[in-house]
Amino acid sequence: MNDKQPDNPLHGITLETILIQLVDYYGWTELGKIIDIRCFNYEPSIKSSLKFLRKTPWARTRVEELYLNKDDFE
């Protein structure tokens, strides 16, 4: 049952975990520069960002891609 998505590197990782790790890694200011969306640049919070990302597929994709490739931005 656990092998339904063996090729998905994000399998088992929640969007909240991804976002928290990106904020810890970059901080809100840098994250807002990399992915220019309002919820990262104006009064950012995990809660408001999760709400936006869950409703906006293109933004969620950008966040997930950044998470997977974050070592490339060092």
> What are the residue boundaries of the structural domains of the chain, listed by start?
15-73
- For 43-69, what is each residue's pLDDT tens digit? 999 999 999 999 999 999 999 999 998
Cα distance between residue 22 and residue 30, in whole Å? 10
Predicted local confidence at residue 72, as pLDDT? 55
Asked if residues 53 and 43 have their Cβ atoms less than 8 Å apart, the reply is no
Read off the pTM: 0.82
The fold adopted by the segment(s) 15-73 is 1.10.720
- For 2-51, what is each residue's pLDDT tens digit? 556 667 778 788 999 999 999 999 999 999 999 999 999 999 999 999 99
Asked if residues 63 and 21 have their Cβ atoms less than 8 Å apart, the reply is no
Q: Which amino acid is at 11?
A: H
